[in-house]
Structure 1
Amino acid sequence: MLNKLSDTIYYLSNQDDKERPTLGLVCGDQFSLIIDAGNSPQHAQDFLLEIEKRNVPPVKYVVITHAHWDHFLGMNEFNATVIVNNQTNEMIKEWQGFSYDDRSLQKYVTANQMSPICMKVLQTDMTNRERFKLKSPDVIFENTLTIDLGNKLCILERIKSTHTDDATIIYIPDEKVVFLGDCAYGTTTNSLFHYKQSLLSPMIKDIQKYDAEMFLLGHESICDLNEMNVYWEELTAANQAVNSTSLEQAMKSFKEENNREPNDNERFFIKAFVNDRNIQSD
C-alpha cells in the first residue's frame, strides 16, 4: 500500500523480509518523480500498480539514490527518464554487462560479485531472466541537479556518505522533506560492519544544511527531525570515543567523556567505528 506523507509525497514502505527498500513518489502540477526503482522488476511493478490507484501526474523521472542492487534493478519497468550521479552510473555499468540466467547468477555469487540474497530475489521476481539486460540511465549529473515537476522543486545532491561513495539525496524544499536512501547507514567490508569514521561529520553537515523536518530512509521508512537528531547525536558520541582499534579503550573513553555507559545503539556504533579503524589499519 502506498503511504501518504503529504498531498504531494507518497512512499512504499521497505519490506525487510523481501530485501525491498523504501520507494518514494513526489508529485508536481505537471509531472511526478520516483525515488529508487526497486530491487527487481516485480518490486517496480508492484509500486507502479499502487501509483495507478492514485490520481497523480504522469511519472517523468526516476532518481536512483545509489548503485546497490536493491535500489536499481527494477528500473527497466519505468517509462521515464532515469537519473543518476556520475559515480552511480559507473557502478551500474557492471550490472549492465551481467547475464541473469541461473548459471550466470551462481557464477557471480561464487565470485562475490553478487550476494546470495540478490540471486534468490531475482530468481523469484525477475521473469524472462535469460533475455534480461539492464538499461542505461538517461541523465547523469556530477554534484547537484534541480528538477521542476510543475510548482514542485526537487533538489538532487551527491553527498559524502558512511554507506557508499555514490550517495544521492533528494530534498523537496516546500515540504521540508528529504529522501536519504541508504546514505546514513554503515557498510560491510571483509565481513566487518563499519561506519566510515572520516565521512561521518561531513555527511551530517551535508544533510543538515537542508531545512528538513521529515526524513525517508531506505530501510526504516520515515523519521522526524527529533528522531534524526537523536541518531546523529548517538553516532557522533560513539565516533568521538573511538581513537584506536581497541574496543575496550573506546568503551572506557565513552564513559569518561559522557559520564555514563553507552546505550545499546551507541555500543553498536562504537563497535562499528572500531571495525572501521581495523579496516583502515590493514
Structure 2
Amino acid sequence: MLNKFSDYIYYMPNQDENDRPTLGLVSGEQYSLIVDCGNSTQHAKDFLNEIKKLNVPPIKYVVITHAHWDHFLGMNEFDATIIVNSQTNKLLNVWQSYKFDDSSLQTYKQSKLMGDKCIEIIQTEIPNRNQFKLNAPHIIFEKTLTLDLGNKLCVLEKINSTHSDDATIIYVPDEKVIFLGDCVYGTTKNSLFHYKKSLLLPMIEDVQKYNAEAFLLGHESICDMEEMTTFWRDLRAASKAVNSSSLEDALESFNLENNRTPNDDELFFIKAFVNDYIIQSL
C-alpha cells in the first residue's frame, strides 16, 4: 500500500523486517519519477502494482539514491530511464559483473561482498536468478541535475554523507519535500557502527540549504521539520563531545557542555562517533 503525501507525491513505507527501504513516486503533468528501485524483483513489482492503482502519468525516470543493494536490486523491473551519479555508477558496474546462482552467492558471502540478508532476499525474491544480470544506468550525472516532469521540477544533487560516498538526494521545490535515501545515517566497518565526524557538518549544510519541510528517509519513511531539527541537534551535540576514541572522555565532555547526561539517542550517536575514531586508528 502506498502512503499519500500530496496529489503529486506517494511513497511505499520501509519494511525493516524485510530490509525494504522507502520507495518514492513523484508525478508531474507529463511524467512520473521513482526514487529507488527496491531490494529485489518482488519489491519492485509490489511497488509497481500499487502505482497501477493510481491515475498518474507514465514513469519516465528512476533515481537511485546510492549503491547499496537494498536500493537498486529491483531496477530491472522498471521500463524507464535509470539515473545515478558518477560514483554510484562505478559501484553498480561491479554488481553488473555478478552472477546470482547459489555457487556464486556463496563465493560472495565468503569474500564478504554480500551479507546473509542480501543473499536471503536474492534467493527468495529474484526469480530466474541463474540468468539474472543487473541492468546498467542510462544517465550519469556528476554533481546536480534538474528534471522537469511537467510543471513539477525535481532537483538531484550528489551530497556529502555520513552513510556512503555516493549519496544522491532529490528535492521537489514546490512541494518542499526532500528524499534523503540513507544519507543521514551512519555505516558499519570492521563490525563497528560509526558516524563519520568529518562529514557530519558538510552533510547537514548540504541538506539544510534546501527549503524542505518534509523529509523522506530510507528507513524511517517520513519526518517533519521538528523531527529533523531534533535529529540534527542530537547529532551535533554528540559530535561536539567526541574528540578521541575514549567513550569516558566523550561522556565527560558532553556533561560539562550540556550540564546533563545524554539522552538515549545522543548516547547512541556518541558511541558511533567514538567508533569513528577507533576505526581511524586501525
In structure 1, the residue matched to 2:107 is 107
In structure 1, distance between residues paired with 2:68 and 2:158: 15
In structure 2, distance between residues paired with 1:221 and 1:151: 25
Aligned amino acid, residue 200 of structure 2:
L
In structure 1, the residue matched to 2:126 is 126
In structure 1, distance between residues paired with 2:258 and 2:6: 39
> 1:130-209 alignment to 2 at 5 Å?
130-209=130-209
**Displacement of 1:100:** 0.4
In structure 1, the residue matched to 2:96 is 96
In structure 2, distance between residues paired with 1:209 and 1:277: 28
In structure 1, the residue matched to 2:256 is 256
In structure 2, distance between residues paired with 1:261 and 1:113: 39
**Displacement of 1:88:** 0.1
In structure 1, distance between residues paired with 2:92 and 2:142: 15
> So what's the TM-score if we normalise by structure 2?
1.00
In structure 1, the residue matched to 2:23 is 23
1:267 has 2:247 as partner: no
Give 3-state SS (helix, strand or coil) of 2:130's partner.
helix
In structure 2, the residue matched to 1:43 is 43
In structure 2, distance between residues paired with 1:116 and 1:76: 22
**Displacement of 1:98:** 0.4
In structure 1, the residue matched to 2:4 is 4
**Displacement of 1:280:** 1.1
Deviation >4 Å, runs of 4+: none
Aligned amino acid, residue 197 of structure 2:
Q
Identity %: 68
In structure 1, distance between residues paired with 2:145 and 2:34: 15
Q: Which runs of 5+ in 2 are unaligned?
A: none
In structure 2, distance between residues paired with 1:16 and 1:244: 32
**Displacement of 1:281:** 1.8
In structure 2, distance between residues paired with 1:109 and 1:88: 22
Aligned amino acid, residue 89 of structure 1:
N
In structure 1, the residue matched to 2:77 is 77
Aligned amino acid, residue 260 of structure 2:
R
Deviations 1:102-121 (A, max 9, x none): 11111101110011100000
Q: What CA RMSD, in Å, does the superposition of the two structures yield over aligned residues?
A: 0.4
Q: Which runs of 5+ in 1 are unaligned?
A: none
In structure 2, distance between residues paired with 1:118 and 1:244: 34
**Number of aligned residues:** 282
Aligned amino acid, residue 192 of structure 2:
L
Give 3-state SS (helix, strand or coil) of 1:11's partner.
strand
